[in-house]
Chains A and B, each alone.
Chain A
Amino acid sequence: MTSSTANPNDARAHARAMAGTIVEAMPMLPPQADDVPGEVLWEETVAAGGYTSRRIARGTRLRLVDLYGDACASMLLFNAESPVERLNVADTIKVQWNGYLGAGKLLLTDMGRVIMSIVEDDAGTHDVFCGASNEASNARIYGTGKNYSPYPNARDRFMLAVAKYGLGRKDVHPCINWFKGVRVADDGATLPELGPFAPGRSLVLRAEMDLIAVFANCPHVLDTRPEFAVTPLRVTAWRGAVTEADDPIRQASPEGLRAFLNTEDYYRR
């Protein structure tokens, strides 16, 4: 019997016959989204356990949707033209005098600039304290956490993603976990808010700098459910204007206003 892939012509035909296959977790090219107010730049569904990354221009809006209620969108941010500048979680909470993220809050870099702002948020359960799962934490729960296993961990996903920009282990910095919350008790104990939640919760971020966004979608490090409890994440980006001088988020606090002034000064060239 002759295999259908026994010679190059048949192997080519076999490979090409896969084209056009649609699965849920994939990028859509060209991107299409009929529910966003602007030119769509990026439309991708990130698999449970998957990761993605993208260079995004200043002004771009980025929407994250927790499609089924169990996404954990762990995020790193870099200044696209100088990636040694990056998200600084400690400065983000310290400068804004609050550890809980939500609409109107800013994400700050380690150079005193605002890199993204949170335009809309109907989730309210986010975490800046506990960071990414790692191979050991996944191995304790699922038996393994390797990238080639069904149970990859968020930090190793970050390492693959940043490596594709020529970055490395030293560039994997403290992250934000969107959709999975951690509150702090009076005694400092971390109180997880892990759901599952109602499907469809979303947030919209605005890029205040040209940036590289990296996402891993793996179970939260404090999630002890024995099944790899994570569901797909929808990411959509559309073109938008650079923040105006009278923008209410820009004007909301003296610290935030100075962060915008620093970002605007950086682009004064």
Chain B
Amino acid sequence: MNTLSESPRGTIVHDEIVPALAPWMHVVKAGQTLRIIDLEGNQAVDFLIYAADDDSERYSAQDTIAAQRNVYLRDGAALLSNEGRPMMTITGTSVAYHDTIGGACSCESNTLRYGHHTKAQHACVENFLDANVRAGRNKRDMVSNINFFMNVPVEADGTLGIVDGISAPGLTVDLRAEMDVTVVVSNCPQINNPCNGFNPTPVRMVVTN
């Protein structure tokens, strides 16, 4: 097992490796910190947040962008809900910034981006649904997401796209929960673009008090 690049502060209450391609769901209590470790580097981690006691309050990329007046998520960024309330805060990151405008890959959008031959491939929305359906949620609950470790530059004429990642083995992002939250992760299975170097790999999730 890889070791943490810098040990997390506090007591570890959960430590789990999410396999390549897989979903993951976990409740992080207010005050706890979730560290995501990109074990092998360049792995996109698609990420939804719901208020644990009311899942109609959830992460909103547009509210987060408007409030911080920036489309990239850097150290210190408050991740806001559709009520404008902080759900989690990025309290440390060894990657310069993370994406929240690129959305999640789906079987359906893959047919547009790469061709209909990709329809049967596994995708992030499939992972989100896999986890959410078991918790009573469905596609109505798919709204906007964060892509940790994913790089989506926007050029002057508006051109944007997913490009080679800026992460590396062992790099981390720390997220402090500001309320009790359910986080749902898709450890991105995309193999048609550079979001994970065309090679999905495992990530590690460590929750500390």
Interface residues in chain A, defined as those with a beta carbon under 8 Å from any beta carbon in chain B: 84, 88-91, 93-95, 97-100, 108, 110-113, 129-132, 134-137, 155, 168-175, 183-184, 186-190, 221-222, 255-256, 258-259, 262
Contacts and interface: CB of A to CB of B under 8 A. Distances in A.
Contacts of B15: none
Contact of A129 (B71, B109, B116, B140): B71
Given A99-B101, A131-B60, A174-B62, A112 B106 contact: yes
A149 to B, nearest CB: 17
B113 A221 contact: no
A188 B97 contact: yes
Interface stretch (B154-162, B167-175, B176-184): B154-162
* Closest CB pairs A-B (n = 6): A90-B103, A131-B62, A112-B108, A100-B158, A188-B72, A130-B66
A110 B108 contact: yes
Given A84-B140, A95-B113, A190-B66, A129 B84 contact: no
Interface in B50-75: 56, 60-63, 65-67, 69-72
Given A137-B66, A262-B108, A168 B56 contact: yes
Contacts of A136: 83-84
B40 interface: no
Contacts of A174: 60-62, 143-144
B56 A129 contact: no
Interface of B: 56, 60-63, 65-67, 69-72, 82-84, 97, 101-104, 106-113, 115-116, 125, 138-145, 152, 154, 156-162
Contact of A258 (B69, B82, B112, B125): B112
Contacts of A113: 108
A89 B63 CA distance: 14
Contacts of A84: 138-140
Given A99-B154, A111-B108, A188-B97, A93 B70 contact: no
B70 A110 contact: no
A95 B61 contact: no
A72 to B, nearest CB: 13
Contacts of B138: 84
A184 B154 contact: yes
Contacts of B144: 89-90, 173-174
Contacts of A97: 159-161
B106 A175 contact: no
Given A170-B141, A171-B140, A190-B65, A258 B101 contact: no
A155 B82 contact: yes
A171 B70 CA distance: 25
B56 A255 contact: no
B162 A129 contact: no
B111 A99 contact: no
Contacts of B66: 129-131, 137, 190, 221-222
15 contacts: A91-B112, A97-B161, A99-B154, A99-B158, A100-B157, A129-B71, A131-B65, A137-B67, A170-B140, A188-B70, A189-B69, A190-B65, A255-B112, A255-B113, A259-B112
Contacts of B106: 91, 110, 112
Given A90-B101, A98-B159, A190-B65, A108 B112 contact: yes
A171 B107 CA distance: 21
A95 B109 contact: yes
B18 to A, nearest CB: 22
A99 B101 CA distance: 9
Contacts of B143: 170, 173-174
B111 A112 contact: yes
B160 A112 contact: no
